[in-house]
Amino acid sequence: MKNINGLADELISDTLKEAADTFFGRRRNIEYELSLFEQKVNELRSVATKVEKTVKSFNFLLLQGREVENFWNYLKITFPLNPGANWLLDIPVPFGLTISFRYVKLLVNVYIMLSQLIEEYSYGKEVKSSGVKGQKMITVNYNFLQKWASEINKNIDDVNYYHKPSDVLQFAKKMQVAELEKANIAGAPMKYSIDKDMTMKRINFLDYKLIEYPDLSRDKETLNLVKQFARDLIKKNKQEVKFILDNIQG
C-alpha cells in the first residue's frame, strides 16, 4: 500500500509539473516573441525615418509645403500629410540650362526615391542571407509586422481564455485531494483575482505609430503627371522655385 501511495504521489507530482511547464512555457514563448517583435519594429523605424526625411524634402520642393495637398489630389492618391517641409536629402540639383528643367527633374527624382523607399518600408527588399550561402531573405516591413502582430494577439487571446492561472490552481487543488477536502470543510472560496492580474496584454499596433503609406506607381503615365504638375507650378511661381533650388544648392 505504501508503494502504491508513493507511486501515486510521484504521478501527481509529475502531472503538476507538466501542467506548470505548459502554463508558464506558453507565456514565456509569447514574451520571447513580443521581445523579438519589438526588435523588428525598431529595425523598421530606420527605414521609416528615411521615408519621413524624403517626404519632408518632397514637401519642401512643393513650395515649402503649400502645394502638397494639391499634388496628391492631382495624382488622385490619398497620402498621409506630413506638416514638415525641410530639405534633408544629400542629393544635388540636376544640371540644366533652365530653372524649369532642373526643378522638374529634381521633383521627379525625389518622387521616384520616395516611391522606392515606401516599397521597401511596406514590403521589404530582397537581401542575401547571412546564415545560408546562396539563400535570400526579405527585410522586415510594415505589412509583415502588422500580420505578425495579429498572430501574436491570437496566441495571447488563447492563453488568456484557455489557460487561465485560476484553472491551473483549480487543477492543482483537485490533484491534492486531501488539501481540497480541508479547503471545502473550511469553506474556503474558490475565487481568484489572479486571472485579472496575470492577463497578458494584447498588442495595439497603432501604439507604434508606424505610418501606413499608399503604393506610389513609377510607371510612365504617373511620372508624366508629376512632370506636368511641376511645369504648371513653376509657371506661376518661378521666383519661389528659384529660391528653393538656390537654397538646396547652398
Mean pLDDT of 41-61: 97
Query: pTM of the predicted model, to two decimals?
Result: 0.79
Count up the domains in the chain and report the number: 1
Q: Cell numbers for 215, please give them.
A: 503604393
Which pLDDT score, from 0 to 100, does residue 84 have? 92
Residue 193: predicted pLDDT: 58
- Flag whether pLDDT at 118 surpasses 50: yes
Measuring CA to CA, which residue among 34, 24, 40, 36 is closest to residue 201? 34
Asked if 166 contacts 173 with a C-beta cutoff of 8 angstroms, the reply is no
Residue 235, C-alpha cell as written in the block:
509657371
13 — pLDDT class (breaks 50, 70, 90): low
What is each CA distance from 41 to 28, 35, 45, 51, 167, in whole angstroms? Answer: 20, 10, 6, 15, 34
Q: Using one digit for the tens of pLDDT, what is the confidence trace for 55-65?
A: 999 999 999 99
d(CA 142, CA 33): 17
Q: Which residues span the domain enclosing 240?
A: 2-249
Please give the share of the chain, as a percent, with pLDDT higher than 90. Answer: 63
